[in-house]
Amino acid sequence: MNTAIGLDGVVVAETALSAIDGKRGHLIYRGYWAKELALSSSLEEVAYLLWYGRLPTQAERAAFVQKWREARELPDEMQRWLMSLPRSLSMSSVLQSAIAALPDETRFDWPPTPDQALQVVAKIPTIIGVRRHALQGVPFDPPSQDWTHAQWHGWCTCGRVLPPRHVRALEAYLILTAEHGLNASTFTARVVTSTQADLPSALSAAVGALKGPLHGGAPSHVETMLEEIGEERQAESYLRSRLEKGERLMGFGHRVYKTVDPRAEALKAIAQEMAEEERWFRLALHVEREAVRLLQEYKPGRQLYANVEFYASAVLKAIGLPKEMYTPTFVSSRVIGWAAHALEQAAANRIIRPDSRYVGPMPQS
C-alpha cells in the first residue's frame, strides 16, 4: 500500500486548533478536552473558542449569540432557489450547492473572518429546514427565532421542537464533531483557502469531501448495517460475510486512532442514557464487540476499533433524526472546524501544492 498517496503521517500544517493523540484516544480543542467541552459548554462557545482562540466573556457570548441568531435568516431569493432544485438532490448536495451560492451581499472578501464564518455556519440548519419543508409542501414557519444552534438544527431537520434531553444530546454530538484536525474534508477546506478563494467556496468543497462513505457519509451506513443485522444472534454471520468479501465495516477503523475514538466513547455514554432506543443500543453494543473481535481475526495488527460514526448513528437515531439527515448534521457541526482552519490557512497565506512522482511513459523522440 503506497501510504504516500494517503499522506499517512505526513505533517502538512501547524495548527493551534486541535490535537489528536491516536494512541491514547485523546482529543483537545485549543487546550481543552473536547469531551469536557461537550459536557460544560455550548456549541456557540466552542465556535467562539475555535475562531477567536479563547472562550468568550459573558458579554462577548451574549453579543456573539445574538449575531448568530440574526445570521440564520436566508434571503427570500435563496429560499425560492432552494425550492427550485431537483427533488432527487441529496441534502448534502443541496448544502454543497447552497453554501457556494450564498448571496455576495454578505461580502465574502479575502481574507476570511470569524464574522464571515458566522454568516455561513448559522445558515446551515436554515438551508436544511427550508429545503425539507419545501419537499414536504409545508410552509417554513419556525415557532421561534430565539433558539440555540442545536435547537434550531433539531427543528429544521426533524420538523418538531426537540425535548431538552434530545437538544442536550444533539449539542454534545455537534461539539464532539465540530473539529478534528486535518481529516479529508478539513484538508480540502485548507487547500481551497490557500488559493485565496472565498470562504463559501472552501466550505462548499469541504462538504463534497465529507459526503463520501469513508468519511462523513458513514453514520447512515452504520444504521443500515445494524438494521440488516436486526438481532444479536445474526451479528457474527453477517459481519463475517462482509469481511469474507473484503468489505469494510462502517463505523470502524480510523487513520489516526489506534484505540477507541474518544468521541465514540462519549457518544456511547450518551446513547446509553437515552433509553428511547434501549434494544437498539444493546444491539449496537453487541455488534461493536463482535466487529472488533472479527476485525482482529481478519485484519490482525490493524488496531481497528469503533470510530465516532458508530455511536453517532445511535445517538442521532435516538433523537429521532431521519437517517438522510445524519451527514447534513455532521456538516452543521464540522463547518465550524472547517472555517477555523480556513482562518488559520489564510493567516499562513501560502498555496498548498505537493509534488508527485511521474510513473508514466516518456516521449519516444
The site for ligand SDX, by CB under 6 A, has a size of: 22
- Cell matching residue 202: 472552501
Instruction: Kindly state the smallest distance separating residue 301's Cβ from ligand SDX, in Å.
Output: 9
Backbone φ and ψ of 162, nearest 5°: -75, 145
81 or 298: CB nearest ligand SDX: 298
Q: Does 302 bind ligand SDX (CB under 6 A)?
A: yes
Q: How many CA atoms lie within 13 A of 213 on its CB side?
A: 10
Active site members: 254, 309
CB of 235 to ligand SDX, least distance (A): 15
Measured from the CB atom, is 138 or 214 closer to ligand SDX? 214
Regarding beta strands 32-33 and 18-21, do their DSSP bridges make them parallel or antiparallel, or are they unpaired? unpaired
CB 265 within 8 A of CB 25: yes
209 residue type, one letter: A
Beta-carbon contacts of residue 360 (< 8 Å; ≥ 6 apart): none
CB 32 within 8 A of CB 65: no
Q: Which three cell numbers stand for residue 280?
A: 437498539
Q: Does 327 bind ligand SDX (CB under 6 A)?
A: no
Asked whether position 166 contacts ligand SDX by CB under 6 A, the answer is no
Considering the rule CB under 6 A, would residue 332 count as an interface residue with ligand SDX?
Answer: no
What is the rounded CA–CA span in Å between residue 319 and residue 334? 19
- Residue 139 or 246 with smaller CB distance to ligand SDX: 246
Which position among 253, 288, 328, 336 is part of the footprint of ligand SDX (CB under 6 A)? 253
Question: Does the footprint of ligand SDX cover residue 286 (CB under 6 A)?
Answer: no
Q: Which is nearer to ligand SDX, 165 or 255 (CB)?
A: 255
Site mask for ligand SDX (CB under 6 A), range 203-222, x = bound: -----------xxx-x----
Instruction: List % helix, strand, coil for the chain (3-state, nearest 5).
Output: 60, 5, 35
* By the rule CB under 6 A, 230 interacts with ligand SDX: no
Question: What dihedral angle (degrees, nearest 10) is formed by the CA atoms of 179, 184, 186, 188?
Answer: -170
Residues near ligand SDX (CB under 6 A) are 1, 6, 180, 183, 214-216, 218, 248-255, 299, 302, 304, 307-309
